[in-house]
Amino acid sequence: MTDKITQETVEKVANLAKVRVSDDEKDMLITKMNEILNWVGMLDEVNTDDVEPMTSVTDAAAMLRKDEITDGNQVDAVLENAPDKDHGFFLVPKVVE
Amino acid sequence: MTDLTNLTIAEALNGLKSKNFSAVELTQAHVQTMEQLRDLNVYVAETPDIAMAAAKESDARYASGDAKILDGIPMGFKDLFCTKGVHSQACSNILKDFKPPYESTITANLRGDGAVMLGKLNMDEFAMGSTTELSCYGTSINPWKGPDGKDRTPGGSSGGSAAAVAARMCLGSLGSETGDSVRQPAAYCGVVGVRPTYGRCSRYGIISFASSLDQAGPMTRSVEDAALMMQSMSGHDPKDTTSVNVDVPDFSAGLGQDIKGMRVGIPSDYILDRTSPEVAAAWESARKMMEDAGATAVEISLPHTKYALPVYFILAPAEASSNLARYDGVKYGARVEGETLEDMYINTRTENFGDEVRARIMIGTYVLSAGYYDAYYRKAQRVRRLLAEDFKAAFEKVDVILGPTTCSPAFPVGAKTFGKNQGENDDPLGLYMEGVLVNPSTIAGLPGISLPTATSAEGLPIGMQLIAPAFDEVTMFKAAQVLEKQANFTAQPDLSSWQKAA
């Protein structure tokens, strides 16, 4: 089976996933991801031409509720665990010049 | 006085009602055992003050005749469950110091019914693993030892929850199962572990791994105890859109009844190369035990069994990559500063996710990425339906399905890896194969229970599982209790070598 994951794919996927992969880890990850993807590739031998994807094991339709406010005024609770906050806001590095 | 830590939940409730001992005494006995057995590394946070306060309230309710269904029962909860103001970290560095401002529905139900929280239990980071070795707090140890004296794994990801029950560090615990994370550790630690039907219990406040698969489950030392915990845990919750609005039956309704005429499915597809001869023999005797009790064994086929793990290892990482996108260093948990916002995200996630979690996020991101979505994610969802249809067809012929829970008893700590070490024990797919007998029913959303029915030549427990149709836990508990009675598993781990003066 041809390997699907190359240096380039690992870098692209890491960027999408917002993680960094060191050069040392790269080879290990390429091997591991290829092993897993080659293994799960066995699903190709199953004929699923007329099979609908199963997105949920329960048949129940999604529950709907009235679009009304059920909660609020929880600023302190929401910010309680924030690594950095000020005046009721989350603080992050500057994003606008 | 009786050893209060050696009771079942049902026995403890009777003792409390009869005023043979108080909830405070029962809690104290467990707090003491937790201190003596700290070397097992089972609790990642102990909450004795909260426990003692709750036990006092329980005693007051017993005194006034207002006791609730689990009043005064000491329990431990997997670190995956959010408990208000108390350590809830999924054993990940990225949730360092996180103390939720809210309580999960299931722990709220249990505590509302009088359960006493002793603390939070060790697990693999974000429930991704099969040994608890991937916890940021280090591995838990199985209290069962083989003759070689080597430490055995308790399994995972709910390894702390299983070991705590086996080591008498609580009367019951909460685990969670996305693949096999309740039933596999239950089998390795010689305790009862239940996966409820998907949708039976609310997922609100359980730190998410793979939302279409995650379910909480009770871990106990008897089938009856598991049914008691389920009674409190179950029910529709408007806060979880996947919790199903169906009536909650009396899970104990079938207990004590016989199983004459019950049809027990024996799936030939569960005989695998990797199944140890001892486990195969234990399966055969479990089948005989059920036949002796009046059940009829029926050979069945679940032809897509071998595709369950590949389906799982596409769906679970895909859903995880989406769920774990929320850990960005902004709202809670760890933050590693960076020059730009994106640098901060990347630094935080790179330094605080463990290697296996990061690898699964990468795989999940890949299978969901443009150009691969249909080939992997959609394909896995289609095969998932075929797996569910296998079970549907089988349940037209049988009432429950009996199989082994794991292919072998608990292995030594460090014996299997996810391919990180390139050492002699390295088997990259080794640990990924742990759920081979459990994941098919998980993927189909069905309820299942694992219970110990035998010991290996080395004296380690062997677990069997019973799988029932969706929302038919009553039949599952009924069949399981008959098997429990027939198997009469009374072996216990020798805790003396772990005990230290408190």
Comparing CB atoms, the residue among A17, A62, A65 nearest residue B362 is A17
pLDDT score of A1: 54
The one-letter code for the residue type at B404 is: P
The pLDDT tens digits of the residues spanning A38-58 come to 999 999 999 999 999 999 898
Was domain B4-265+280-303+387-487 assigned CATH 3.90.1300.10? yes
pLDDT score of A70: 87
Residue B318 token pair = 């895909």
Work out the minimum CA distance from A2 to partner chain B, whole angstroms.
15
Q: How many CB atoms lie within 10 A of CB A3?
A: 13
pLDDT score of B430: 75
Comparing CB atoms, the residue among B101, B325, B359 nearest residue A77 is B101
Q: How many CB atoms lie within 10 A of CB B32?
A: 14
Q: Which residues of A touch B92 (CB under 8 A)?
A: none
Comparing CB atoms, the residue among B199, B341, B383 nearest residue A48 is B383
The one-letter code for the residue type at B446 is: L
pLDDT score of A96: 80
Residue of B nearest to A10 (CA): B362
Q: Which residues of A touch B321 (CB under 8 A)?
A: 17
The radius of gyration computed from the CA coordinates of chain A, to the nearest angstrom, equals 23
Work out the minimum CA distance from B385 to partner chain A, whole angstroms.
5
The domain defined by A7-44 folds into Histone, subunit A (1.10.20)
pLDDT score of B344: 97
pLDDT score of B407: 94
Residue of A nearest to B441 (CA): A57
CB-count exposure of residue B295 (10 Å: 0-12, 13-18, 19+):
buried
User: What count of residues does chain B have?
Assistant: 502
Give me the half-sphere count of Cα atoms (radius 13 Å) on the Cβ side of residue B230: 33
Q: Which residues of B touch A8 (CB under 8 A)?
A: none
Q: What is the pLDDT along chain B (502 residues), one digit of tens a residue?
A: 469 999 999 999 999 999 999 999 999 999 999 999 999 999 999 999 999 999 999 999 999 999 999 999 999 999 999 999 999 999 999 999 999 999 999 999 999 999 999 999 999 999 999 999 999 999 999 999 989 999 999 999 999 999 999 999 999 999 999 999 999 999 999 999 999 999 999 999 999 999 999 999 999 999 999 999 999 999 999 999 999 999 999 999 999 999 999 999 999 988 877 889 999 999 999 999 999 999 999 999 999 999 999 999 999 999 999 999 999 999 999 999 999 999 999 999 999 999 999 999 999 999 999 899 999 999 999 999 999 999 999 999 999 999 999 999 999 999 887 654 444 444 557 788 889 999 999 999 999 999 999 999 999 999 999 999 999 999 999 999 999 999 999 999 999 988 886 5
User: What count of residues does chain A have?
Assistant: 97
SS3 B436: coil
* Per-domain residue ranges of chain A: 7-44
Q: How many CB atoms lie within 10 A of CB B213?
A: 21
Q: Which of these ranges, A25-34, A61-70, B359-368, B443-452, has the smallest mean pLDDT?
A: A61-70
Percent of chain A surpassing pLDDT 90: 72
Q: Give the strands of the sheet with B215-220, arranged side by side.
A: B43-46, B116-121, B74-78, B172-177, B215-220, B192-195, B448-455, B461-467, B400-404, B263-267, B296-300
Question: What does pTM read for this prediction?
Answer: 0.96
Does the beta carbon of A32 lie under 8 angstroms from any beta carbon of chain B? yes
pLDDT score of B424: 44
Work out the minimum CA distance from A1 to partner chain B, whole angstroms.
15
pLDDT score of B240: 94
DSSP B437-466: TTHHHHHTT--EEEEEEEE-TTS-EEEEEE
pLDDT score of B274: 81
How far, in Å, CA of B285 to CA of B458, rounded? 18
pLDDT score of B500: 80
Query: Tokens 């597809």 identify what position?
Result: B269
Identify how many contiguous H helices and E strands chain A contains and give both numbers.
3, 2
The one-letter code for the residue type at B165 is: V
pLDDT score of B57: 98
Contact residues for B23 (Cβ-Cβ < 8 A; gap 6+) = B16, B55, B56, B58, B59, B62, B71, B72, B116
